[in-house]
């Protein structure tokens, strides 16, 4: 099981301002697969500010590059591309 203590904001892992954690449930097996920090409004604000700052450069990125970047980030995190049967 994955246990995250931090949140990923602006390209780096940061300590969440929240207390406690949330369980991530696999919808197919209904098993807990991870726990993540219970974020706060301050965590959301930090993420929104980081996204706002990144938008000008990201919007100039050609679609082939941005889609490749998103796909590689997903595969580097162990995201499964096929649906379970």
Query: How much is the pLDDT for 84?
Result: 46
Closest CA to 50 of 2, 1, 77, 12: 12
Quote the pLDDT of residue 77. 52
pLDDT score, position 46: 95
The pLDDT value recorded for residue 83 is: 44
Q: Which ranges constitute the DSSP H helices of the chain?
A: 41-59, 63-76
Report pLDDT for 57.
Answer: 85
pLDDT by residue for the chain (85 residues), tens only, comes to 999 999 999 999 999 988 899 999 999 999 999 999 999 999 999 999 999 998 888 888 888 877 776 666 555 555 554 444 4
User: What are 38's two structure tokens?
Assistant: 């219970």
List C-alpha distances in Å: 41 to 3, 38, 44, 73: 21, 10, 5, 26
């Amino acid at each position: 099981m994955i246990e995250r203590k931090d949140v990923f904001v602006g390209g780096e892992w940061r300590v969440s301002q929240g207390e406690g954690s949330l369980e991530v449930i696999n919808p197919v097996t209904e098993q807990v697969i991870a726990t993540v920090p219970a974020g706060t409004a301050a965590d959301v604000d930090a993420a929104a500010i980081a996204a706002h700052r990144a938008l000008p450069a990201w919007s100039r990125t050609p679609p082939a590059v941005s889609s490749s970047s998103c796909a590689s980030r997903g595969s580097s995190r162990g995201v499964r591309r096929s649906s379970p049967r």
